Amino acid sequence: MNSQNLKYPRIKYLRENAELTQADLAQILGVTQSAYSLYENDKRDIPTDILIQLADFYQCSIDYLLGRIDKRTLWNTLLFSFYKYLLINESTTGIS
């Protein structure tokens, strides 16, 4: 199957690049290996909550996972990460 025609063209590449098996990633996501395989092989739509988990795990946007954009890390993602960092430090150090 041509990756150009897949709904989720990058999930197999990202998994293999992270040197994970389908079973590894399925366990991380809390799904069965067979369910994950169906997602990766475009046999079943990925539920929104799983897409969010994948984007969080790979530190990328859902648009990147879907092949809608080519940049893995977006400026907005970096800003959001910095914002979370500030919130965490504010709550632990009392900085306001």
Q: pLDDT digits over 9-36, tens only?
A: 899 999 999 999 999 999 999 999 999 9
**What global pTM score does this model have?**
0.70
Gap between the terminal Cα atoms of the chain: 53
Q: Which tens digits make up the pLDDT trace of 66-79?
A: 988 887 765 555 66
Dist. CA 44–CA 41, nearest whole Å? 8
